[in-house]
Amino acid sequence: MRLLPDTFRNRLALLIGSLSLVVSLPYYLYIDRFYGAQLEADRGNALTGLAMSVATLLAENLRERQREIDLLARTPIYLDDDGRVDNRKLTAMLDRLKQSYAYYSWIGFADMRGIVRAASGDLLVGQDVSQRPWFQQGRQGSFVGDLHEAVLLAKLLPAEPGGGPLRFIDFAAPVQDADGRQIGVMASHAHWSWADAILGRIEPVRREHQDVELFILDARDRIIYPENAGVTLDNAFLARLSSQRWSEDGQYLAALRPVPELFPDTPLNWTVLVRQPLAGVRQDVDQLQRALLLFGAGAALVLLVLAWLGARRTSRPIEQLARLADRIRRGDESAKLDVHASTRELETLFQSISGMAETLLARKGELERANENLESKVAERTRQLEDANVQLESLARKDALTGVLNRLAANERLEEEFRRLQRTGSVYSVLLLDIDYFKRINDTHGHDVGDQALQFTALLIRASIRATDFLYRVGGEEFLVLLPATGQEDALGVAEKIRATVESTPAPVVNRITLSVGTAQARPSDRNAESVVKRADQGLYAAKGAGRNCIMACMD
């Protein structure tokens, strides 16, 4: 049983309506499959870049905290004339250091028996900490401990605002006297709220995509940041993520990247997980699909009405109209449906068909412009994400105070030069420079003047080296200069030029600044890129032992 009479008018109306739907279907399929997949891939790559940037940022800040404890452990100014620890002087120093960094909850020194002899706020003084992991590992060398709850300090420090347990990261380093004998362990407990301050640096990126979630996982894939996240993670999905740049599990698009390790012998095995709901990623695609469906349905309805009203034609004018329509179908958009009719009804029909053709061409142009506009928006979003990643990459490699590159950038360049040495035999040298009595500058004139002294010294060093050399700030008052294609003798000449320039150039406020310099030349027999840095560090300590303001080359 037919719903409509089998007439020319009805057949033409159904045909025009079907054509309208067929024209809309390819655009719908393109948006659903190809454009949606491309958008998902772009967001996956962006999440991967964000996870890598956060992991690098965490590793760099852990390295900075450990470097502070290493430098404190190597500072001899709290030793008395007999080489023993002056507990009062050390306690005062620890109190000042704790005040300079708000996230240090405790800093202390324990002797070789594990008895705390000096500590910030006198907390735990006299307590036995010999069984604590930080003390046992700190006796062996520099140590960074995994996140844990407070044990001895839980009753001595203020409680958490939410009533949760206190959680710390431990940093420890061995302390030696002037003769090189180990006399104890220096350690600090950094409060885990430190993570909020570090990750606050990427807030501009997270505000741009408010539905992006960021987690830090420990070695057992437990969420340690944010605290009390209330999120359950799929271990199978995490295992798949560890071998891919990004992936999705039907609900989230996610990327997982490991935090670079400070000490391979005692790894933290932390990872950074960044994820975004798939619904948010595909929101633009869904909106465009809905708009296309509404437009297609409306266009089909309009065309059905026009076709039904214009179906009453005579055969001759319809043939003429068919020939003109065939020209338009072949791409001749300049063809006009100019058919002369003998009746008012046929004239009305031809005018309606002409309007229909113009409408189709106009809608096609609108769809093309809408597609171009959408691609432009996607390109702009991608560019903004790339700019944000570039900014995060720059922050991770540049020292904010002096404007020179930091230790992360130094490690990368040293690795490149070491590979070139292994491949071509092209030698290079390293200078380690340390500002003499820098703490005295801070204590006498304040940290602002100390910062000015660092900036002033960095400018003089940069002006004293060649355009092909590289300058890095690798510690509080310590700089590293990399001299490509330079042997030991030439390196000593560059070092003397730097030392003499700094000594002879009056500095603001403090007037005179001097440097102790250690030099070393890389060798093909070196085990890794860090070997030459260690020898330069030995030269630096020899320079300090020789009275400072001098240069020592390590020939071992």
190-249: per-residue pLDDT in tens? 887 777 777 776 666 555 555 788 888 888 888 877 777 677 787 788 778 877 778 887
Locus of tokens 């003998």 = 342
pLDDT at 250: 74
pLDDT bin (cut points 50, 70, 90) of residue 329 is low
Would the pLDDT of 495 be above 80?
yes
pLDDT band at 341 (very low <50, low <70, confident <90, very high): low
- Whether residue 556 has pLDDT greater than 80: no
Q: What is the predicted pLDDT for the residue at 83?
A: 61
Is the pLDDT assigned to residue 414 strictly greater than 70?
Answer: yes
Half-sphere exposure (Cβ direction) of 277: Cα atoms closer than 13 Å: 6
103 backbone φψ class: left, alpha, beta (φ>0; ψ -120 to 50): alpha
Closest C-alpha to 419, from 492, 342, 491, 522: 522
Q: How many CA atoms lie within 13 A of 482 on its CB side?
A: 26
Would you say residue 128 has pLDDT above 80?
yes
- Residue range 88-106: mean pLDDT, rounded: 82
Answer whether residue 509 shows pLDDT above 60.
yes
What is the DSSP annotation of 9-26? HHHHHHHHHHHHHHHHHH
The gap from C-alpha 463 to its chain's centroid, in whole angstroms, comes to 31
Residue 265 has a pLDDT of 76
The mean pLDDT value for 467-472 works out to: 94
**Both tokens of residue 342?**
């003998």
Query: Which pLDDT does position 318 carry in this prediction?
Result: 65
What is the reported pLDDT for 345?
62
Mean pLDDT for 515-540 is 94
CB 396 within 8 A of CB 198: no
Contact predicate 47/281, CB 8 Å: no
- Per residue in 369-388, pLDDT (tens digit) is 877 887 777 677 767 766 65
Our CA dihedral for 237, 238, 240, 245, rounded to 10 degrees, sits at 120
Distances in whole angstroms, Cα of residue 530 to Cα of each of 270, 285, 407, 415, 428: 24, 50, 12, 8, 13
What pLDDT, on the 0 to 100 scale, is given for residue 102? 75
User: How many other CB atoms are found less than 10 A from the CB of residue 320?
Assistant: 17
Tokens at residue 544, please? 């300090």
Q: Which residue has the higher pLDDT, 272 or 300?
A: 272
Give the span between the Cα atoms of 541 and 432, in whole angstroms. Answer: 10
Region of poorest pLDDT, from 67-71, 333-337, 443-447:
333-337
* pTM for this prediction: 0.48
Query: What's the CA gap between 216 and 417, in Å, rounded?
Result: 33
* Crossing angle of helices 438-445 and 447-464, rounded to 10°: 140
**Does the structure show a pLDDT above 70 at 339?**
no
Task: Say what the alpha-carbon torsion angle 257, 382, 409, 226 is, to the nearest 10 degrees.
Answer: -40
Preceding amide of 226 cis, omega within 30: yes
> Which backbone phi and psi does 223 adopt, to 5 degrees?
-75, 120
